[in-house]
Chain A
Amino acid sequence: MKPTLPEDRELEEMRAEVSERYRPAANDEPTARLDAKILEAARNEVKPARRKREWQIPASIAAVLVLAVSLGLVVRDHIPPPEVTGQGKSTADEARLAKPAQPALAMQDSSRQMSEAYREARPSRERSDRPDRQLLASSDATPKGQSKAMPQSAAPEHANGPVQSRPPAEADASAQSPASFAAVADAVAPGAAAPAAPGIPAPAPSSGARSFGEAAEKEQANVASLAVEAKDKKAESAGLLSKRVATAQAVRKQDAPPPSPQEWVHRIEDLLKDGKRADARDQLLAMRRQYPAYPLTEQLQALLGGQH
């Protein structure tokens, strides 16, 4: 844009004249070394910034994720309980709060029932797996003819499976027992949950039986301990008395569950064979109290005849 004022035009003419003479002298420039130094500094200023961005973005994302996760965990662990502010709200809140308690109570109740039923209907195999039983079984491992004297270890196997699957010795032992007894045992032994044979009432783990069973449990424990002691007397010759005493004590200490009816019958039969009729009768009475519906053989009915 050309100057319009006369003084500006004069100034522009002067400047043009001086500039024309100044140009040839205006050749001074920085050295190449200085240029390189400055350009290098400029590049270095840019490079670190790129590096910063390269690690800053993923680092910031990672930090946000860590914070979010930790915050989420903290919030989840510290959810405040619902505040009760009004009556209308309190009813709903109480109902909501009561919900989780109901299943818990129901679960407790059902677990208690299950444990009681299990105790009543526990397969005799489990009990035979207890140390004292195993000890007795091992000490009484006798030939075929004597296996009848200790049928406790054979009875559970008989109760839990068909005869064909049992070992030959046990199958023989059960074969030697009366046919009616074997049929009854097969029908009842699998436990209270097993369906009973027609016309034969199964020992149901009902609440009535449970109430009665509490009193009977103590009696059974005493009977079981007596039975173990009797067996101990037999085993004294084998030098295993000390072990059995310890085992019997352990059994007494435990809350001994009542033996299964088959087991009980075997014990009574053993007592009868040993000539201990009074003890056998006591055992039979105790068994009748525990299992009133359990069918008895003719021999046992005869033993119990005086009572009826």
Chain B
Amino acid sequence: MLGARLALVSADAVPDEQLMLRYRDGDAAAFDELYGRHRGGVFRYVLRQVGLRSTAEEVFQEIWMRIISSRTRYRVEARFATFLYHIAHNCVMDHFRRKTPLHLVSLDDESEEAIEVPGPGRDQPERAVALRQTAAKLLNALALLPPEQREVFLLHEEGDLTLEEIAGITGTGRETVKSRLRYALAKLREGIDHEADVA
């Protein structure tokens, strides 16, 4: 579980909020650490929604530039992750307003958008292949989700945000978020099982 993993990693680490405060006061090294903690999750959150890696990089850069430029106004009013993903959500929404919606990623394509799933090890090649196939199916199913459900799943999975925090970011109620998450998980599980059945 991602939340448990992050909790283990950051058990004795400086909290995100503290790092952001240090960066606000001029400590560039604090930002380096903060960025290292969240760069993957934010990038995947953006990539799964916008589809194209190049576009995802643009949006990703815009997110962090907003974080950087807003450092002097930063106040600890919530978890830093909530603050970060709130900005990410706004940037993605801005992107969707400017562009045409979603470019779906083809898993058969060898282009730059093709997702490479690393194997767990050379000693288990069959299992590695199975995991890669399952992940690809999951990503395919994720891309087919309605945007609202997909965003709720990504915020919950990549940002490790609670239902309340997601509700705050998306501007909806907690029960709405819970419902969207339930539907998203059901469809993702169904997509994996369906692919498995077909196979």
Q: Is A126's beta carbon under 8 Å from chain B?
A: no
Residue pair B182, A14 in contact (C-beta under 8 Å): yes
Residue pair B2, A19 in contact (C-beta under 8 Å): yes
Residue pair A38, B35 in contact (C-beta under 8 Å): yes
With a CB–CB cut-off of 8 A, which chain A residues contact B53? 28
Question: Number of contacting residues on B, CB 8 A?
Answer: 48
Residue pair B43, A28 in contact (C-beta under 8 Å): yes
Q: Is A106's beta carbon under 8 Å from chain B?
A: no
Residue pair A14, B186 in contact (C-beta under 8 Å): yes
Task: With A11-B185, A34-B57 given, name 18 new contacts (CB 8 A).
Answer: A11-B182, A15-B156, A17-B189, A19-B157, A24-B118, A24-B135, A25-B135, A25-B136, A27-B118, A29-B43, A29-B44, A31-B57, A35-B35, A38-B64, A41-B68, A43-B28, A45-B68, A46-B26
Chain A, interface SS category: helix
Contact string against B for A residues 1-42, beta-carbon threshold 8 Å, 1 for contact and 0 otherwise: 000000000010011111101111111111100110111011
With a CB–CB cut-off of 8 A, which chain B residues contact A38? 35, 61, 64-65, 68
Question: Nearest residue in B to A16 (C-beta to C-beta)?
Answer: B1
Q: Is A253's beta carbon under 8 Å from chain B?
A: no
Residue pair B120, A24 in contact (C-beta under 8 Å): yes
In B16-56, the 8 Å CB interface with A consists of 23, 26-28, 31-32, 35, 39-40, 43-44, 47, 53
With a CB–CB cut-off of 8 A, which chain B residues contact A21? 131, 134-135, 138, 192
Residue pair A15, B35 in contact (C-beta under 8 Å): no
**Interchain CA distance A17-B60 in the complex, whole Å:** 28
Contact of B157 among A22, A45, A49 (CB under 8 A): A22
Binding site for B on A (CB under 8 A): 11, 14-19, 21-31, 34-35, 37-39, 41-43, 45-47, 49-50
Question: Nearest residue in A to B36 (C-beta to C-beta)?
Answer: A35
With a CB–CB cut-off of 8 A, which chain A residues contact B87? none
Q: Is B188's beta carbon under 8 Å from chain A?
A: yes
**Interchain CA distance A37-B64 in the complex, whole Å:** 10
**Interchain CA distance A41-B64 in the complex, whole Å:** 9
In B149-199, the 8 Å CB interface with A consists of 153, 156-158, 178, 181-182, 185-186, 188-189, 192
Residue pair B135, A46 in contact (C-beta under 8 Å): no
Question: Could you tell me the distance in whole angstroms from the C-beta of B190 to the nearest C-beta in chain A?
Answer: 10
Question: Nearest residue in B to A23 (C-beta to C-beta)?
Answer: B2
**6 tightest Cβ-Cβ pairs between the two chains A and B:** A25-B135, A14-B185, A42-B31, A43-B28, A24-B135, A38-B64
With a CB–CB cut-off of 8 A, which chain A residues contact B57? 30-31, 34
Q: Is B117's beta carbon under 8 Å from chain A?
A: yes
**Interchain CA distance A63-B88 in the complex, whole Å:** 43
Residue pair A18, B23 in contact (C-beta under 8 Å): no
Contact of B32 among A14, A23, A39 (CB under 8 A): A39
**Interchain CA distance A207-B138 in the complex, whole Å:** 127
Residue pair A18, B131 in contact (C-beta under 8 Å): no
Residue pair A22, B181 in contact (C-beta under 8 Å): no
With a CB–CB cut-off of 8 A, which chain B residues contact A43? 28, 31
Q: Is B116's beta carbon under 8 Å from chain A?
A: yes
